[in-house]
Amino acid sequence: MDKITIFWFRQDLRLGDNPGLYQAAKNGLVLPIYIQDDASQGEFKVGAAARWWLHHSLDKLNISLDGMLNIYVGEAKNIIQKLVEQYSVRTVYWNRSYEPWRIRDDSAIKAMLKDINIDCKSFNGSLLWEPWEILKKDDTPYKVFTPFYRRGCLESKPPRVPLPAPENIELFKDQSNHTILENLNLLPSNPWHKTMDLTWKIGEQAAKNRLTEFLKRGLQGYKEGRNFPILKNVSRLSPHLHFGEISPNQVWHAAQTKFPIENFEKDLDHFLSELGWREFSHYLLYHFPSLHTENFQEKFNLFPWQENATYLKAWQAGETGYPIVDAGMRELWLTGYMHNRVRMIVGSFLVKNLLIHWRHGRDWFWDCLVDADLANNSAGWQWIAGSGADAAPYFRIFNPITQGEKFDPQGEYTRKFVPEISQLPDQYLYKPWEAPEHVLKKAGIILGKTYPRPIVSLEDSRNMALEAFKCMKER
């Protein structure tokens, strides 16, 4: 039998611009594998919405591999060792992931393979720049985004040009393995995901189509339009990037090639800087591997967070009585996604108006987002809480009334996800408790029954938050 190269798919579920797969194909026969290893991920195993996406993404990948994807369940190290012993394996390739347990497990697998004289190589298939390549002049990591991106990344070597999909790749099927995709039990047993089925197209080709559509219709006006949840000026590429159905290099270079044809430099620069924020989140998690569990700024260990299950449940269900907050939380539940501006609004409400720890928000998003990414989710929640690197100052507290009026002025987004108040006039849409009784009656609303009254006062809760922040600084 010819010597075999194992290629291990992880968060790179594509054929195009897949450095590890591209190099593996040059070696001859390739055994493509995917391993579901929930135990190694501990409490941060893939959440419910992301598991739904993963199922469909693996299905699309298997189709593109002509049904030759080999799926396994268990500890990756043991499975790879068994395959190496079972077949005439010469090399093992994969693309790097940067979660702490991935780095730990990858190191152990590399050591194991080295001990038995198996060549092992890992590649960068998911970041524009390696985290260890971008450092300050004193060789310490950046902690502030703008110098990280403008001085560190943009003054470093440019992102590599995307690779083509390998041609005429020779694939090998492990006939002794009978695990199929359905054995992973990624799909939920109840049908809550049916609305997500209608929302998303999944897989490598869908990711390419989404990018093309965004560059054609969404990039122009992006810098300002991205703040308005009803507009099309967001790429919605985040789940495709997370699962590696498309690479950031493909997105970066596709956007760059569009630039000379069009005339919107500021929009392009801002969109590329959002890819930079994605890089920064992964960079922080790499250099500070407790980012997802501990306050980046230790002073927040003294913050007097409140435990309030009633408030938390109301927030999760989109029943806070603040329409823009409730719209965001319901969009999340129905679609597995939330517009970025609204993520900041609902996050601020949880940690500052309700004084509930950012970890509760992290966990809910982790289970509900199709783009749930440990680095982005953790860095984002710490940013809004004020406890993270380059974070928004704690006293910056989003007002859900003014945010709704400013960024959803006609209420199209809010009315879509909170239909029970859709008949309210615009002037009362974000503060229905101020509407006269006859207006509420005409709109078919009974506060406290058909739509909740606010669970907290904005003014009182803001003052409590500022007082808590002040007490933290004094301790």
Whole-angstrom Cα Rg for the chain = 24
- At residue 432, φ and ψ (nearest 5 deg) are -60, -25
In the set 340, 405, 420, 433, the catalytic residue is 340
Q: Would residue 433 show up in a list of annotated catalytic residues for this protein?
A: no
For residue 33, which of 105, 83, 106, 99 has the smallest C-alpha distance?
A: 83
Find out whether 108 and 136 touch, Cβ atoms under 8 Å. no
Q: Would residue 366 show up in a list of annotated catalytic residues for this protein?
A: no
In the set 358, 364, 366, 383, the catalytic residue is 358
Q: Would residue 315 show up in a list of annotated catalytic residues for this protein?
A: no
Q: In three state form, how does the secondary structure of 2-46 look?
A: CCEEEEEECCCCCCCCCHHHHHHHHCCEEEEEEEECHHHHHHHCC
Instruction: Please give the helix or strand (H or E) that residue 148 lies within, else none.
Output: none
Q: Would residue 274 show up in a list of annotated catalytic residues for this protein?
A: yes
In the set 75, 101, 170, 305, the catalytic residue is 305
Q: Would residue 358 show up in a list of annotated catalytic residues for this protein?
A: yes
In the set 8, 52, 381, 383, the catalytic residue is 381
Q: Are strands 119-123 and 29-36 parallel, antiparallel or unpaired?
A: unpaired
The rounded distance, in Å, linking the Cα atoms of 164 and 209 is 17
Q: Are strands 89-95 and 70-73 parallel, antiparallel or unpaired?
A: unpaired
In the set 274, 294, 319, 405, the catalytic residue is 274
The amino acid that residue 189 corresponds to is S
Q: Would residue 340 show up in a list of annotated catalytic residues for this protein?
A: yes
- At residue 124, φ and ψ (nearest 5 deg) are -95, 110
In the set 277, 308, 319, 405, the catalytic residue is 277
Supply the residues annotated as catalytic: 274, 277, 305, 340, 358, 381
